Amino acid sequence: MKVLRTQEEIKKYALAQKQAGKTIGLVPTMGALHEGHLTLMREAKKNTDVVIASVFVNPVQFGPNEDFDAYPRQFEQDCAKLEDVGVDAVFHPEPSEMYPEGFCTYVNVEGEFTKKLCGGQRPGHFRGVATVVTKLINLARADKAFFGQKDAQQVCVIRRFVEDLAIPVEIHMVPIVREENGLARSSRNAYLSPQEKEAALVLSRSLNLAATAFKKGTVQVETLKQIIKDEINKEPLAVIDYVEIYSFPALTEIETAQAGDIMAIAVKIGKTRLIDNVILEG
Ligand code: PAF
């Protein structure tokens, strides 16, 4: 696997693949790779000739009081995992390489939907995501880019600017990968103590309860939200950030739910903020 650290290196690598007639799949990550990321890599391998992963903890998408410094960084372990699944190249730049002196251009998706869910809680977050993802897609000359459903709102934002700015790339959303006990895989799970990890199961449990109620005929959004909140509130270590049910992918307010809508939650377990979601099935 090639390790690319500069813009020049990735541009040269991507151009060579294109000149050889290959399609390129990009999987942007912030590292601390887990099974969720590796599923994205496998999906990219199935769908494109050459897979470029990026490992970059993007400073621009973190707020001043967020976990940029604490975010787990384990590049060597990440490389071993990427080699294992057959990724062709990894791009691992320094922040100063991505944002050199004079950098002053940002991609800002302005739709109402960006102010909901994590966008409401984390001002500036999606501006940082949209900016770095645009740059990564351009550098990698990606034909297809792969993102996890766990960050469903992020996928909505990326699809929006890709369409609005006519960027010639296909965006693939890959379903959430869970541990056997239901916990959605996340790099931030590494922050949890064993007791907190147990408490964190309340996220998927509460969503499953509401999904089951929906399947049995409960469609009132307020009732479904209450089922989720009641379950989370039973867990002493959990504090709700938001519990929402919206249409998907538009993320508009709804009163009654139908298949395809999304139930999305953010919950603090101790100091760790976790997100999870379920797209309702009929
Ligand atoms: O989902 C993430 O890990 C990040 O937001 C992404 C897409 C790699 C951009 O930094």
- Residue pLDDT, tens place only, 196-220: 999 999 999 999 999 999 999 999 9
From the candidates 37, 92, 125, 172, which is the catalytic residue? Answer: 37
Q: What is the pLDDT of residue 46?
A: 98
37 catalytic per annotation: yes
Correct CATH for 2-174 of 3.90.1150.10, 3.40.50.620, 1.10.8.80, 3.20.10.10: 3.40.50.620
Bin 223: left if φ > 0, else alpha if -120 < ψ < 50, else beta: alpha
Range list for CATH 3.30.1300.10 in the chain: 187-276
- Residue 282, pLDDT score: 83
Beta bridge partners of 268: 239, 273
pTM for the whole structure: 0.96
Q: Whose CA is nearest to atom 9 of ligand 1?
A: 129
The preferred substitution site among 26, 27, 29 for testing ligand 1, maximizing ligand atoms within 8 Å of CB, is: 29
- Counting from 1 in the atom list of ligand 1, the atom nearest the Cα of 148 is 1
Q: How far is the CA of 253 from the centre of ligand 1 (A)?
A: 26
Residues of the chain with CATH 3.40.50.620: 2-174
Residue 255's pLDDT is what? Answer: 98
Please answer whether residues 234 and 201 qualify as being in contact, where contact means their C-beta atoms are separated by less than 8 angstroms: no
Altogether, the residues listed in the chain come to a count of 282
Residue having the nearest C-alpha atom to atom 7 of ligand 1: 28
Which residue has a Cα nearest atom 2 of ligand 1?
A: 29
Level-2 CATH architecture, domain 187-276: 2-Layer Sandwich (3.30)
Pick out the chain residues at pLDDT < 70.
none
What is the distance in A from the centroid of ligand 1 to the CA of 147?
8
Residue 222 C-alpha from the chain's centroid: 26
- Distance of CA 217 from the midpoint of ligand 1 (Å): 36
Which residues on neighbouring strands pair with residue 269, listed in sequence order? Answer: 238, 272
Is residue 149 a contact partner of residue 279, using CB atoms and an 8 Å limit?
yes
pLDDT tens track for 143-199 = 999 999 999 999 999 999 999 999 999 999 999 999 999 999 999 999 999 999 999
Beta strands (DSSP E) in the chain are 2-4, 24-29, 50-55, 89-91, 144-148, 170-174, 238-246, 262-269, 272-279
Could you say which DSSP state residue 97 is in?
A: H
